[in-house]
Amino acid sequence: MFTALLVALVIGGLIIFLVQRRKNQVLKTEDGWWGAGAPPEGEEDLTIRSFKVTTTDEELEDLYSRMDQTRPVPSLEDSQFHYGFNSHYLQKVVSYWRKDFDWRRQVDKLNQYPHFKTNIEGIDVHYVHVKPKTVPEGTKAIPLIMVHGWPGSFYEFYGLIPMLTEPSDPDQLVFEVVCPSIPGYGFSEAPRKKGFDSVCAARIFHKLMKRLGFQQFYAHGGDWGWLVTTNMAQLEPKTVKGLHVNFAPPSKPGLLVTLSIVLGRRFPKLFGFTETDVERLYPCMEKLVLESIKESGYMHIQATKPDTAGRGLNDSPVGLAAYILEKFSTWTDHDFRNLEDGGLTRKFSLDDLLTNVMIYWTSGCIVSSMRFYKENFGKGLDAPHAKIPVFVPTGFACFPNELMHTPKLWVKQKYHNLVSFSPMQRGGHFAAMEEPRLMAEDIQQFTRSVEEMMMKKKE
C-alpha cells in the first residue's frame, strides 16, 4: 500500500514538474540588424518621428501612364472568378481607379490618425498610434497593438479603431491603439538581409511598444498578424496581458488533432465538435484536395521565388490590383468565385480596396511583403515557435468564411489558456475590415473577461 502510494506521488510530482516546465517555456530570440551593411557603432537611435502619407503630381502621372498602357486580356466565357480576377470586371475597376478614385482624398483619410516612424534594428518601423480623446474618470486606456497580414495593411483597422478608442457605450472599455506596418509592408522599411521572419517582427514590435512606454499590453492579429502576435506572447508572456486572434491554423498537428480528423465525423461529441465543425471539416476528400490546390498557388510562389513574380507586380499597377483584389474576393467568401465581379463591393467599397492597393503601389513594397512567406515557410514545421504552446490568456473569433476552419479543440492545443471562443455570425478572412463592429465587440468582451480575471486574482 505504501509503495503504491509512493509511486503515485512520484508520478504525480513528475507530471506536475513537466507541465510547469512546459508552462515556463518561452521562445528565445536574439537582436538582429536588418539595415544595409554592418550595424554602426554607438548608441541606438531611439528617436520617434512624425510621419505623413503624401503624394505628388509626378507619382500620380506615373501611375496614370502605366494604367493607360495596360494591355487588356479577354476573359473566357462564363469563367467568373474561377480563373483568377475576371478581366472584364478588371477593366471596370481600372476605369474607376483612373477616372473617379481620388487618391488625394484617401491620403487625407489615412492622415486622420497620427503616423510615426522609429528606427529599430536598423530599419524604420511605421505605425499608427491613436490615443482616446476621453477616458472615463477612474480608469485608464488599455494599450492594444493590432497587426495586419498579407495582402492587407494597417488600413484594415481604420473602421475598427474608432470603435475601440471612442466606444459609443460609456460602459465599454477604452483602448489606446497602435497599428504598425510589418517591416517590408506599407511604410515600414524592408529588411536588407535574409531571415526576417515572424519572430523577428514580434521582437521588433515588443521593442516598439516598450519605446512607447507600455510595460504590458494586449495584442490582436489575423493572417500573418496572428503568427506575429502569437510569437509576441511566446517571447514575453508576462508582457502580453491578453492575445486576441481571428486566424489560428494548427501549426504542428499533434495526436489529438490527428485523431479528431480521422474519427471526428463518426464521433463528433468525443472531440467537442459542433454541427458547424463537421460541416466545415468534412466535405468529400476530393473537394478538400481541389480547394487546397485552387487557393494555395500564390503561397507556393511567394514561399519559393517571390522576387520573380513580385518584380512584374511592382511594375504594373493593374497587375498588382488584380493580384491583391482577387484575394479580397475569394478570401472573403469562396462562393464569390461564381460571380462576374467577384462580389468585391458586396462587403467593401472600391475606394477602400484601392486605398489598400495604393499603399502597396506607392511604397513599392509588394516584393518585400511576398518575401515574408519565404522567410517563414523556409523554416517549416521545425521552427521553435511551432513547438511552444501559448499560456497567455487568449480569445479566438471564429468567422464562418475564414480560409481554414479551426474547431475549439484545435485552438486549445496551441493556446492552453483559451478564455473565449466566439463563433461569429458572418465574415471572412479580412474580418477587421469587413466586420469591424463584430470584431470590436469580441475584443471588448475578451479584454473585459481577462481584466476581471486579473482583478479576482489580486483580491
Whether 248 and 403 have beta carbons less than 8 Å apart is answered as no
Rounded Cα gap, residues 328 and 155, in angstroms: 14
Candidate list 148, 220, 385, 429, residue with the active-site label: 429
Strands (E), 268-321: none
Which grid coordinates are listed for 136? 472615463
Q: What are phi and psi of 277, to 5 degrees?
A: -55, -50
Long-range contacts of range 189-195, CB-CB < 8 Å, 24 or more positions apart? 189/123, 189/124, 189/125, 190/123, 190/365, 190/368, 190/371, 191/34, 191/123, 191/368, 192/34, 192/35, 192/36, 192/122, 192/123, 193/32, 193/33, 193/34, 194/375, 195/32, 195/375
* 117 torsion bin: left (phi>0), alpha (psi -120 to 50), beta (else): beta
CA distance readout (Å), 13 to 17, 24, 252, 389, 402? 6, 16, 28, 21, 42
Annotation marks residue 360 as catalytic: no
The Cα–Cα gap between 87 and 187 comes to 30
Contact 225, 149 (CB under 8 A): yes
Report whether 229 contacts 385 (CB < 8 A): no
Which residues are within 8 A (CB) of 184 and not within 5 positions of it... i.e. 6 or more apart? 190, 191, 196, 365, 368, 369, 371, 372
For residue 214, what is its C-alpha cell?
507600455
Q: What is the CA radius of gyration of the chain?
A: 23
Angle at which helix 285-295 crosses helix 297-304, to 10 degrees, equals 50
Backbone dihedral region for residue 102 (phi beyond 0: left; psi -120 to 50: alpha; all else: beta): beta
Catalytic residue among 148, 373, 415, 442: 373
Residue 96 falls in the annotated catalytic set = no
Name the amino acid, one letter, at 358: M
Q: How many CB atoms lie within 10 A of CB 10?
A: 10
Q: Do the strands 48-51 and 175-180 form a parallel or antiparallel pair, or are they unpaired?
A: unpaired
Between the CA of residue 445 and those of 248, 411, 417, 430, 441, what are the distances in Å?
A: 19, 18, 16, 20, 6
Residue of 113, 115, 223, 352 marked catalytic: 223
373 classed as catalytic: yes
Residues marked active site are found at 223, 373, 429
